[in-house]
Chain A
Amino acid sequence: MLEGLKNKIEPAVSKVMRTPRKLDIEITASCNLRCRYCYFFNNPAVEYRDLPADEWLRFFDDLGSLGVMDVTLAGGEPFIREDLTALLEGLVRNRMRFTLLSNGALIDDEIAAFIARTGRCDCVQISVDGSCAAVHDTCRGRGAFNGAVRGIRTLQRHRVNVAVRVTIHRHNIDDLENIAHFLLEELGLPGFGTNSAGYLGTCRLNADDVMLTIAERQVAMATLLRLAEKYPDRISANAGPLAEGRAWRMMEEARAQNAPAFPNRGRLTACGCPSSKISVRADGAIVPCNMLNHIELGRINHDSLAEIWQNSPALNQLRNRHTIPLTDFKFCAGCSYIPYCTGSCPGLAYTITGKVDQPSPDACLRRFLEEGGTIP
């Protein structure tokens, strides 16, 4: 009678839940840095203003009543908020766990000790893009490296889980080996994640200076695949050169062998986010994802999050994106990789093509090869 009891939640969450399980919240539009490839700033669709703590706390009460389990606080820089402890207390009080995304520079012993005491922090993710200041600070500004390392060491001292994300760009591809050594061996982190500067926000203004060329992408891919073998299970990627290297190798192998289509491929299936989570901008606008900040679904404390989650036409359109075959697109015409392709991120598809329901040219294997790239 109770055979439905599962030891893990995961098998039960493949379909849309009654309310979102997770939220990504840009808790502030302020930041102490101005990184040259920041996805957040310089988005013409976004109103950059902060809400007072009481607005957020009221919203967190709402999330608690909806049974939301995990919240990621990003920005901007979350630690710039002087009321951050009150906000975190609001999440804890409402039976949620949390993750913070940060550049690390504003983390001191007091806040690290507070976070540790909550017992609810999954991790604080710090951005580290170089093994030394000369590399890291190229795109993040002077002093950023020292701040990041100081922040990591402070969190480690207080036994707060630290995750590191390395954003790969034109100025650090020759430093990847050193970065891996620095993070995994000198700082003793269990692992780190990678992505790459994407054509969003401020990065669009500096694309020629920061975004990888085809040749650089190939170098980054080869280096990261080699490092991932050197450090098994310690370097991860959901996007960027490492993720592409892994996926494209499999796609090329399948195409060469004329293998059957991969499950859930050949359609716009890349993004499963709208089935389990939703995002909120710093100004309180509810959006499907912080990569799709222009799609306003409603406002916190004014519109029902549950109603938006269950009935928003825009959100449901995104959820149905997976029914659109890649063969519908002129861009994909004649491509032999279609049975193995997901069409990639709708956020990047939008910023590059102006349409959400499109494959993203950025992560197109055929285009990469046509422009001179080879798969390592």
Chain B
Amino acid sequence: MNQTDKPIANPVVALREEFDDWAVLFNPDMAYAVGTNPVGVAVWKRLDGKRSIEDIVSEIKNSFEDTPDAVSKEIAAFVDTLAKNGFVGLEVESK
């Protein structure tokens, strides 16, 4: 089996959307939480194992105004951070 380039959210992670557009992602298995902003939430909701990072970046660019040039790198780094902390995995190719 091979990993795809399509990240998928760990289903055990809880998303707490808060007032003022910020949110918390909580991994109860790791006892670890991160706070994030609306863009992070939008990215998180797209980590379904069907979209690649490029797909997600494209959708974010369409959903938010004035996205900076570095958004691709920022989103990739964000997903990488989530992966390192057990929040995200990569979908496995089915044969």
**Residues of A that sit less than 8 Å from B by CB:** 1-9, 11-12, 15-19, 21, 64, 67, 69, 92, 95-97, 119-120, 122
Do residues A9 and B75 form an inter-chain contact, with CB atoms below 8 A? no
Interchain Cβ contacts under 8 Å between A and B, 23 examples: A1-B64, A1-B67, A1-B68, A1-B70, A1-B74, A2-B43, A2-B75, A2-B77, A2-B78, A4-B35, A4-B37, A6-B36, A7-B34, A9-B34, A15-B19, A16-B19, A17-B19, A67-B17, A67-B26, A69-B28, A119-B29, A120-B28, A122-B31
Q: Which residues of A contact B16 (CB under 8 A)?
A: 17-19, 21, 67, 69
Instruction: Name the 7 nearest CB pairs between A and B, nearest first.
Output: A4-B37, A67-B16, A9-B33, A6-B35, A12-B35, A95-B14, A2-B74
Do residues B28 and A95 form an inter-chain contact, with CB atoms below 8 A? yes
- The A-B contact count (CB < 8 A) is 84
Q: Taking the nearest CB of chain A, how far is it from the CB of B27, in angstroms?
A: 9
Do residues B14 and A97 form an inter-chain contact, with CB atoms below 8 A? no
> A273–B67 Cα gap in the complex (Å)?
39
B92 interface residue (CB < 8 Å to A): no
Most buried by A among B13, B35, B40, B64: B35
**Residues of B that sit less than 8 Å from A by CB:** 12-19, 22, 24, 26, 28-29, 31, 33-37, 39-40, 43, 64, 67-68, 70-71, 74-75, 77-78, 81
* Interface SS of B by simple majority: mixed
Q: Which residues of A contact B43 (CB under 8 A)?
A: 2
Q: Which residues of A contact B70 (CB under 8 A)?
A: 1
Q: Taking the nearest CB of chain A, how far is it from the CB of B64, in angstroms?
A: 8
* Interface SS of A by simple majority: loop
Q: Which residues of A contact B68 (CB under 8 A)?
A: 1
**Do A67 and B15 form a contact, CB below 8 Å, given A2-B40, A5-B40?**
yes
Q: Which residues of A contact B12 (CB under 8 A)?
A: 95
Q: Taking the nearest CB of chain A, how far is it from the CB of B37, in angstroms?
A: 3
Do residues A5 and B34 form an inter-chain contact, with CB atoms below 8 A? yes
> A95–B13 Cα gap in the complex (Å)?
7
Q: Taking the nearest CB of chain B, how far is it from the CB of A354, in angstroms?
A: 35
> A119–B30 Cα gap in the complex (Å)?
9
Do residues B39 and A1 form an inter-chain contact, with CB atoms below 8 A? yes
Q: Taking the nearest CB of chain A, how far is it from the CB of B21, in angstroms?
A: 9
Do residues A12 and B22 form an inter-chain contact, with CB atoms below 8 A? yes
- The residue of chain B having its C-beta at the shortest distance from the C-beta of A98 within the complex is B28
Q: Which residues of A contact B28 (CB under 8 A)?
A: 69, 92, 95-97, 120
**Do A6 and B34 form a contact, CB below 8 Å, given A1-B39, A67-B14, A67-B15?**
yes
